[in-house]
Structures are given as C-alpha cells and as structure tokens.
Amino acid sequence: MPLKGYGVLAARAVDRRREGSRDTPHYQIHLTDNAGTHYRAAVNVESQQAPSELLYLADDDFRHPVTELLPPAGSGWTALVSQAGKASLDFIRGNMFDPAAMRMLPPDVEGADNDLADLLDHYVQRAIADPTAAVYLFGQRFGPEKNIPDKVFGFRPGNGVHDIHMNQGNSGRFRSDNGVWQDGALFVHLPAENRWIAIFLAFQSQAWHTADQTGHPLDTAPLRAGDRDEPLRIMAALVHPSGPAPEAVTVLNVSPAPVDLQGWQLTDLNQHSLPLPAGTLQPGTTLTVPGGNGFHLDNRGGTITLVNPDGIKVHGVAYTAKEGEREGRTITF
C-alpha cells in the first residue's frame, strides 16, 4: 500500500540535532508553525538496506511549477492527494531533477563538509538563522501522540513527519511503501532572495523506472540514478509562441549512433502524448517537433517527458510560469 498520511509540513525551523552514527541514524529538525504547534522532521541519512549510503541532490536555485502550488508559509501540516497537478511530489513523473545528477554521501563521519549530516546542517542552520525563511517538508505524518513527549526535542505531544525521501521503486521489505506522487523532500524558501532550495534523497536500492499505478520497480528497466545511456534528451521548448506559430519541443541525439524515432513520444503535464515523426535522427543533431494531437505546453508552468518505444521515461524537464509567460522566447534546459 502507498504511504498513509502523505502531505507537506510548512513551518519554521528552530532547532536541529544530529544523531551521529547510531543505528539507522536521522537528522532531526525541530519546527513550529504560525499557530505555535511543534513538529519534528526525521530525515534519513543512512539506509537500512544495502548499500547504506544515500543518494542526494541539493539544488540551490530550484525552479519548478510545484513551488506555486504549495500552502502558505508557516501554515502547518497539509494532507496532499497523490496525483499529478497538485503539490504532491514524484521524482520520476514530476521531472523534479535529473537522477543522473545525484551523488552519494556517508551519513556521519569525522571532518567538515564530508557527510550527509553536514550537508543538511548547512541548509537547516541557514533557515534557522533567517526569520523569514520558510521550510517545507514532504513525507508521511506521525502523531500527534497524545500525552507523549517528543523523543528528541521533548515538546508535547509528539508530532511530525518522516519518510522524507523517494517513496517508490522499493523492493524486499520496503516494497509495501511504494506509490506514485508521494515522494518526500525538503524545500527552503528565502523570500529576500526570491530563491528556493530543494534537497532530494533516495536509496541506492531503489529503482528509477517504476509502474505508473503502483510505483513498483519495472523489471524491464533496472536503471539506477547515475546511469545516463539514453540516446535522446529534451534540449528546449517554445511554450508561448508569437502569432500563429505552434508550440514546439527540441530533442537532441546525444548518442554516437543514429536513432530510429519510431515509437518515441513526448508527453505533457496532463499525459497527452505527441509522437515523434518517423525517421532517423543522426548523432549530434536536433529535431524540433511542433505541438498537436492534444499535446499542450501551459504558459502557467508544466512538464515535458520523453518516452521511448518501450513506454519507459528516459528524460524529463519542467518549466515555471515565469519562464512560460515570455512570449516568443525559447526555454533551454
């Protein structure tokens, strides 16, 4: 079954605690919302399933249409519906980032700036120091635990969020946690800089191609983050054309061999598909595909996904409303 109680916590960070190298260590964050309710966020820094080191990606200038769908800063816990077009996260279908950009870090080792706890500390301490910083934590809620103090920070009642990581592509004993549009992450909004920071975490044991209905790994696609052997990539899009010109998406053949385009297609945010024209794309060359067939690039922000003839996503991008509203300008990715 998917996670129970998936949602997002919008609050302010007031304290943090590192758990060191104890069993299944977490990085703990103490937060409060505008109503004075206290929460704890338990962020995994080590996997219980080998390999133990987590994959991470920290985007210091995160730009994605999901930021425009979030609840107000400091509003506390908001339950989310696990479906596209909402504030729910899906690392794969939402085109949040390129999995190949993720790297590994140990949980907690001696020295400065060399482990996952150090990385989280850098951003959380920044949020604690800035009274205007808004923190958003996606995951599964726990509590409130009536009359029971929080086991880390001592406030009553115990209450918070965990599973702040990818929640699909699991196998073995964690397979029951799989689902789509229910991934966890940590966002920090810095209003003074008009900037978003996003931290994404995943386990090396998780698969990066999953079934659209269940989030279970696809046997036909055992690729993991860091692999990048896809022959085609999305390079640019004309989202808001001038005059009668059609919307268009440009793809590039990054491989050293020609690619037969039969069966390849693009999909938009609403899962409308656009087949690539029949033919062969030579190495190092691009193809600009005009919109049609119901495929639509919304000026208010959206996603574009490239799917191979086996129906497997091989690349995806996202653009914001600010990028989409610029008439006649091509967005590059």
**Alpha-carbon gap, residue 159 to 150, rounded angstroms:** 7
Average pLDDT score, the chain: 92
What are the extents of the domains in the chain? 6-203, 232-332
**Alpha-carbon gap, residue 332 to 310, rounded angstroms:** 26
Nearest to 164 by CA among 42, 78, 75: 42
Q: Is the peptide bond before 2 cis (omega within 30 degrees of 0)?
A: no
Q: What is the mean pLDDT of residues 23-45?
A: 93
The helix, strand and coil proportions of the chain, stated in percent and rounded to the nearest 5, come to 10, 35, 55
Instruction: Give tens-digit pLDDT for 278-329.
Output: 999 999 999 999 999 899 999 999 999 999 998 889 999 999 999 999 999 9
Q: Is the peptide bond before 65 cis (omega within 30 degrees of 0)?
A: no
Q: What is the pLDDT of residue 25?
A: 85
Whether the per-residue pLDDT at 79 is higher than 50: the answer is: yes
Topology of domain 232-332, CATH: Immunoglobulin-like (2.60.40)
Whether the per-residue pLDDT at 33 is higher than 50: the answer is: yes
**Alpha-carbon gap, residue 83 to 155, rounded angstroms:** 33
Whether the per-residue pLDDT at 227 is higher than 60: the answer is: no
Whether the per-residue pLDDT at 21 is higher than 80: the answer is: no
Q: What is the pLDDT of residue 176?
A: 93
**Alpha-carbon gap, residue 67 to 51, rounded angstroms:** 32
Q: What is the pLDDT of residue 43?
A: 97
Whether the per-residue pLDDT at 222 is higher than 60: the answer is: no
Q: What is the pLDDT of residue 164?
A: 98
Q: What is the mean pLDDT of residues 81-99?
A: 94
* Tokens of residue 290, six digits: 């005009």
Q: What is the mean pLDDT of residues 33-61?
A: 92
**Alpha-carbon gap, residue 9 to 288, rounded angstroms:** 41
3-class secondary structure for 51-77? CCCEEEEEECCCCCHHHHHCCCCCCEE
Residues 6+ apart with CB under 8 A from 229: none
pLDDT band of 221, cuts 50, 70, 90: very low
Whether the per-residue pLDDT at 158 is higher than 90: the answer is: yes
* Tokens of residue 190, six digits: 């810095």
Q: Comparing 22-31, 64-73, 154-163, 317-326, which segment has the lowest mean pLDDT? A: 22-31
Q: What is the Cβ-side half-sphere exposure of residue 59, based on CA atoms within 13 angstroms?
A: 19
Residue 157's Cβ-count burial label (10 Å; 0-12, 13-18, 19+) is middle
**Alpha-carbon gap, residue 319 to 298, rounded angstroms:** 10
Q: Comparing 93-97, 222-226, 280-284, which segment has the lowest mean pLDDT? A: 222-226
Q: What is the pLDDT of residue 243?
A: 85
Instruction: Give tens-digit pLDDT for 165-212.
Output: 999 999 888 999 999 999 999 999 999 999 999 999 999 989 988 999
Whether the per-residue pLDDT at 123 is higher than 60: the answer is: yes
Whether the per-residue pLDDT at 112 is higher than 90: the answer is: no
As a whole number of angstroms, the longest Cα–Cα distance in the chain is 67
Q: What is the pLDDT of residue 111?
A: 77
* Tokens of residue 47, six digits: 């996997």
Q: What is the mean pLDDT of residues 222-240?
A: 77
Q: What is the pLDDT of residue 225?
A: 46
